[in-house]
């Protein structure tokens, strides 16, 4: 093979990947990129049933792969366990697990709604514990697996008004490292991707919320808050994050484990 893309393509064709929160944004981008490498997919996430069915059909037709969908709510451990059990039964088992589902809420700590704290910790952190816990036995039996947790620059540094998100993302960094150590000799790698600001529906929602919390305009949020932290002054693209995920799934990345891969335009270098 002449380059990494060729070798990762050859090794990923026919593998089975599950991406949580893949009906939108970064998760959908990662799912698309894995399908383009020939992976069969299990999608998951919220959304309109007809639109999701159309998305599955289009992905399958575009890339000549099989695409299933699980409506499991990432706040519900039993639904997560069932999702993994069903995925494990298809295509020779689950080889690639991408924990991507996530939500955000922006508010000062003393006004932070308790139910938002609970939901963010459940979706952004605990769901990854539940998926990994259920998927590992199959990966261990086959001595092959890739786990990618979509963390954030907020796994490494904090910002005000995002207590639950920052706590959950720091938590997922710890979970990533711990599981990586537990399975290091078993052909399974476990890594986190830590993006800076990526323009997705989640970020578009944050612009309005941050403007309200800080009492500034939406334009000021983009220029002075979001991209101020990102030295490149450019949003990271969904495609860049997806390419990194594909690389981490490749054989070339077999020695990368327990790592938090920053893709943040230099944010956490400052
Ligand atoms: P998004 O809102 O576009 O997508 C989030 C996905 O999670 C959707 O598919 C949604 O349906 C799903 N989801 C939400 N609640 C769920 C639940 N209860 N059960 C199942 N699925 C659920 O957001 P995004 O920006 O693509 O974010 C994806 C991940 O990337 C998140 O973990 C987020 O924290 C992380 N991230 C995003 C950015 C950014 O700038 N966009 C930066 C760093 C990290």
Distance between CA atoms of 59 and 80, rounded to whole angstroms? 23
**229 within a domain of the structure (yes/no):** no
Cα-to-centroid distance, 127 and ligand 1 (Å): 13
**15 within a domain of the structure (yes/no):** yes
Token pair for 67 = 């695409």
What band does 206 get if pLDDT is binned at 50, 70 and 90?
Answer: confident
Q: Is the pLDDT of residue 6 over 80?
A: no
**Residues 199-217, mean pLDDT to the nearest whole number:** 87
**212 within a domain of the structure (yes/no):** no
Verify whether ligand 1 is closer than 6 Å to residue 26 (CB atom): yes
Burial class (CB in 10 A: 0-12, 13-18, 19+), 252: middle
Neighbour order of strands in the sheet with 40-44: 67-70, 40-44, 16-19, 96-99, 145-150, 188-195, 260-263
**Average pLDDT, rounded, for the chain:** 94
Q: Is the pLDDT of residue 9 over 50?
A: no
Report, as residue numbers or ranges, the catalytic residues: 165
Query: What's residue 8's pLDDT?
Result: 40
**115 within a domain of the structure (yes/no):** yes
**213 within a domain of the structure (yes/no):** no
pLDDT in tens, 134-154: 999 999 999 999 999 999 999
Choice from 41, 71, 103 to test ligand 1 binding pocket (greatest atom count within 8 A of CB) = 103
**204 within a domain of the structure (yes/no):** no
A 10 A CB-CB count for 207 gives 19
Residue 107 φ/ψ region, left for φ over 0, alpha for ψ in the -120 to 50 degree band, beta for the rest: beta
**Residues 37-64, mean pLDDT to the nearest whole number:** 98
**Number of separate domains in the chain:** 1
Query: What's residue 208's pLDDT?
Result: 87
Distance between CA atoms of 120 and 16, rounded to whole angstroms? 27
Ranking 6-10, 48-52, 137-141, 143-147 by mean pLDDT, the lowest is 6-10
Cα-to-centroid distance, 128 and ligand 1 (Å): 13
Choice from 149, 202, 239 to test ligand 1 binding pocket (greatest atom count within 8 A of CB) = 202
**Residues 28-37, mean pLDDT to the nearest whole number:** 98
**Residues 5-17, mean pLDDT to the nearest whole number:** 71
Q: What is the dihedral of CA 219, 157, 29, 201, to 10 degrees?
A: -30
Verify whether ligand 1 is closer than 6 Å to residue 103 (CB atom): yes
Q: Is the pLDDT of residue 245 over 80?
A: yes
Round to the nearest angstrom and report the end-to-end CA distance of the chain: 38
Residues present in the chain in total: 270
**228 within a domain of the structure (yes/no):** no
What band does 4 get if pLDDT is binned at 50, 70 and 90?
Answer: very low
CATH number of the domain where residue 126 is located: 3.40.50.720
Structural domain harbouring 47: 3-195+236-264
What band does 178 get if pLDDT is binned at 50, 70 and 90?
Answer: very high
Distance between CA atoms of 134 and 20, rounded to whole angstroms? 14
Distance between CA atoms of 75 and 121, rounded to whole angstroms? 9
Distance between CA atoms of 99 and 125, rounded to whole angstroms? 9
**251 within a domain of the structure (yes/no):** yes
Helical residues (DSSP H) of the chain, grouped into ranges:
4-12, 25-36, 49-63, 77-88, 114-121, 127-142, 163-182, 201-214, 218-220, 238-249
Ranking 207-211, 238-242, 266-270 by mean pLDDT, the lowest is 207-211
Cα-to-centroid distance, 3 and ligand 1 (Å): 31
Query: What's residue 113's pLDDT?
Result: 98
């Amino acid at each position: 093979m002449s380059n990494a893309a060729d070798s990762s393509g050859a090794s990923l064709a026919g593998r089975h990947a599950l991406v949580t929160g893949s009906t939108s944004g970064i998760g959908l981008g990662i799912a698309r990129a894995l399908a383009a490498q020939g992976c069969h997919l299990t999608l998951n996430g919220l959304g309109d049933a007809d639109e999701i069915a159309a998305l599955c059909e289009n992905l399958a037709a575009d890339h000549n792969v099989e695409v299933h969908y699980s409506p499991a709510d990432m706040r519900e451990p039993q639904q997560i366990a069932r999702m993994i059990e069903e995925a494990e039964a298809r295509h020779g088992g689950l080889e690639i697990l991408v924990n991507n589902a996530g939500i955000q809420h922006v508010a000062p700590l003393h006004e932070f709604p308790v139910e938002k704290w609970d939901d963010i910790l459940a979706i952004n952190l605990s769901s990854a514990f539940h998926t990994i816990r259920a998927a590992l036995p199959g990966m261990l039996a086959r001595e092959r697996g890739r786990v990618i947790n979509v963390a954030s620059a907020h796994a490494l540094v904090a910002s005000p008004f995002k207590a639950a998100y920052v706590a959950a993302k720091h938590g997922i960094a710890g979970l990533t490292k711990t599981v990586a150590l537990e399975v290091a000799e078993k052909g399974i790698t476990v890594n986190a991707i830590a993006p800076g600001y990526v323009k997705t529906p989640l970020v578009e929602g944050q612009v309005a919320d941050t403007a309200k919390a800080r009492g500034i305009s939406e334009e000021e949020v983009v220029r002075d808050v979001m991209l101020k932290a990102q030295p490149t002054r450019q949003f990271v693209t969904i495609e860049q994050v997806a390419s990194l995920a594909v690389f981490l799934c490749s054989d070339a990345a077999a020695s990368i484990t327990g790592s938090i891969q920053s893709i943040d335009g230099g944010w956490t270098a400052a």
